[in-house]
Amino acid sequence: MAGTKTLESTRLAIEGGPRAKTTPYGAGKRFGKEELAQLREALEQNTLFYFKGKKVRAFTEKFASMIGAPHCVATSSGTAAIHVALSTLGVGVGDEVITSPLTDMGTVIGILFQNAIPIFADVEPHTYNLDPGAVERAVTPRTKAIVAVHLAGNPCDMDALLFLSQKYSVPIIEDCAQAFGTLYRGRKAGTLGVLGCFSTNDFKHISTGDGGLIVTAHKALAGRAFEITDKNYYRQGEHAGKSPRFLAPNYRMTELQGAVGLAQLDRLGTVCRRRNELGDRLSLLISGTEGVQPHEITPGGVCTYFNYMARIETGRFKGGLDGFIGALNAEGVPAWRHYPKTLYEADLFANRTIYHESPFPLEGTGRSYSYPKGLCPVAEEITGSSFSLPVSEFFTDRDIEETAQAVRKVAQALLR
C-alpha cells in the first residue's frame, strides 16, 4: 500500500494525480493607512503639482538617502527615467546604445525616441545579464552609452562593465526597474553607474501606480535630468527663465504618486529582504534536479527576485518547455514564459516599423542597422528554455517548499 501511495503522489496533476501545491499562495495588502494618510496630506496641500507641493520632493530625498546617492529626480515611469537619463547624457540622433535583448521594452523605448540605435549584446547563460565580452565586441566609435539591466534583481557583472566603461569612456546607465535593494559586492545597484533608473509601476517591488526615479552622484546631471523631465522649463537654477534649448518631454510625477511612494519606501526594506530569502531558498531546494538549472546569482551579488527564472535542458524533457510549464501549472504553480522572444525579435524591429512605416533611425543616420536571427544566440536559447516562477514578499516558506516540490516532481516525471 505504501508503494501505491508513493506512486500516486508522484503522478502528475496534469495526468490526474494530486497537486504538489496544496494551499493557495500567500497574499497581502500592499497599501495601508500610511499611504492613505500621505494621500490625504497631498490633497490638503491644494496642489498636486510636484514643484509646488512637498510629496515628490520628500519621496526623492528619502529614496536618495536610503540608497546613498546625493541626488534623485522623479519621473512618470521607469521608461521615462531611462529616456531622461539618456537625454541627460546627450544621447541623440544616430548614437549607439548597448543594452540587453532580454528585458522590458521600457529599456529601449527612450533610445529609439532619442533617434539613437539600440545595439543588443548577448547575455550570460544563467544570470541572464549582459556578457561583458559581448558588450566589448559591440563597442564602436558611435557608442554613446551602455544600459545595464539588472534582470530580475540580479546584478550585472559590474566590475567588468565598469572596466569597459572606463576603457572606452562610455557611461553606464543602470536599469534598476527590477532591482530595488540589489547589491553588488556590498554596493547598491543604481549607484554603480553614472545614472541609476528605477520603476515604481504596479508590478515592481514598490508601487506608485506608475512612476520612476533617477539617482546620481553628479549634481550637474541631476539638474539636467530635472529639467528634461519637465519640458526643459527651467524652473530653477542657472537657466531659470530661459527658453528650452533642446527637445524634452513632460514626464513629471504628481504629488499623488509622490505621497504613495513616500509611504511605500517604509515597506521596501522588508519587501527586498523577504524576496531575497525566498528566492535563494527556492534555488537551494531545486538545485541538483536533473535537467533544471536554477537562477544563477552573479558572484558578489544579492538578488531581490522580481521574479525567479530557471532554465531546463528542453531536449531531455517530454513535451519540451511548454510541456514542462503546462505540467507545473496543473500542479498549482503559475509558471510562465517571461521572455518568449528577445527584444529585437519584436515586430517593430523585425518589420523595421519603428515610426509607423518609417525604419528611422535604423536607416537614415549614415549606417544601416538590422537584427538578424542569431544575433544574440545565448539570449535566443534562453527564450526557448526558461520559465519564471512567482516570488512575492507575502509568500510563506511553505509556498516555496511546495513550488520546489512541484518543479522536482515535474522534472522527474517528464525526464526522458
Peptide bond into 361 cis (omega under 30): yes
Nearer to ligand PLP, 175 or 393 (CB): 175
106 binds ligand PLP (CB under 6 A): yes
The set of cell numbers assigned to 400 is: 516555496
260 binds ligand PLP (CB under 6 A): no
> d(Cα 93, Cα 224) in Å, to the nearest integer?
19
104 binds ligand PLP (CB under 6 A): yes
Of the candidates 247, 220, 219, 221, the one whose C-alpha atom is nearest the C-alpha of residue 232 is 247
Scan residues 112-171 and list those touching ligand PLP (CB under 6 A). Answer: 149
196 binds ligand PLP (CB under 6 A): no
Q: Please check whether residue 134 is in contact with residue 101, taking contact to mean a CB–CB distance below 8 angstroms.
A: no
> d(Cα 9, Cα 334) in Å, to the nearest integer?
20
Among 175, 230, 331, 380, binds ligand PLP (CB under 6 A): 175
Instruction: Tell me how crowded residue 24 is: count the other CB atoms within 10 A of its CB.
Output: 8
178 binds ligand PLP (CB under 6 A): yes
Please state the closest distance from residue 76 (CB atom) to ligand PLP, in A: 8
Map grid coordinates 546569482 to a residue: 297
The set of cell numbers assigned to 5 is: 501511495
229 binds ligand PLP (CB under 6 A): no
Q: Please check whether residue 175 is in contact with residue 343, taking contact to mean a CB–CB distance below 8 angstroms.
A: no
Single out the segment in contact with ligand PLP by CB under 6 A; choices: 1-9, 98-106, 134-142, 404-412: 98-106
Please state the closest distance from residue 5 (CB atom) to ligand PLP, in A: 44
Q: Which one-letter DSSP state was computed for residue 253? A: P
> d(Cα 55, Cα 34) in Å, to the nearest integer?
13
79 binds ligand PLP (CB under 6 A): yes
208 binds ligand PLP (CB under 6 A): no
Scan residues 40-59 and list those touching ligand PLP (CB under 6 A). Answer: none
199 binds ligand PLP (CB under 6 A): yes
Single out the segment in contact with ligand PLP by CB under 6 A; choices: 72-80, 227-235, 315-323, 408-416: 72-80
Of the candidates 153, 149, 172, the one whose C-alpha atom is nearest the C-alpha of residue 161 is 172
**One-letter amino acid for residue 331 of the chain:** E
Single out the segment in contact with ligand PLP by CB under 6 A; choices: 73-81, 248-256, 282-290, 406-414: 73-81
Interface residues with ligand PLP (CB under 6 A) are 77-79, 103-104, 106-107, 149, 175, 177-178, 199, 201, 210, 212
